[in-house]
Amino acid sequence: MNTNALVRMDGREPMSMLRAPEFRLATGILALLMLAATLAACGARGISDANTASGEEKATLTLAVDPDPPVANQEARLTIQVRDASGKGVPGTNVEVVAEHAGMNMGKLTGVATDVGGGTYTTTITPTMAGTWKVRVTVDVNGKTQQATFELQVK
């Protein structure tokens, strides 16, 4: 005799009520596992691009950090490349950078990156704590505001 089957067949607690929370729990665990896998993948590369723009006019934003990985309480240089849909660098745009420690309310570091020509922009960041930092870059290309969020794994 199967005890699990006996519990489920007990008329006082409908099967659907027993199963629904289990299903939600399993889905939550799956989501957490997928997030963990994504973060691990980012850690290997240091940076993950999540450009939110789409379509033919989409600009490509890339971010490089030096040193890689950045170190807590040490200045790191961020180099941002802005390229148009044809791959050409886009100079002369406003590049806003906002950085914050993921999952923590410890303030935001904000600034405007300096245009050094050819679609390259630089700024510096001094992350005050080790862990995952989210760096949101906002640019205006052809009158369209585009954003990309990168993750930095700070040591």
Please report whether residue 41 would count as binding Cu ion according to CB under 5 A.
no
User: Which residues are CB-neighbours of 70 under 8 A, at least 6 positions away?
Assistant: 76, 125, 127, 152, 154, 155
Closer residue to Cu ion (CB): 61 or 101 = 101
Residue in 137, 36, 35 with CA at minimum distance from that of residue 80: 137
By the 8 A CB rule, do 133 and 82 touch?
no
Closer residue to Cu ion (CB): 65 or 141 = 65
Please report whether residue 106 would count as binding Cu ion according to CB under 5 A.
yes
Nearest approach in angstroms of CB 109 to Cu ion is: 12
Please report whether residue 104 would count as binding Cu ion according to CB under 5 A.
yes
| Beta bridge partner(s), residue 112 | 96
Closer residue to Cu ion (CB): 84 or 100 = 100
Binding site for Cu ion (CB under 5 A): 101, 104, 106, 129
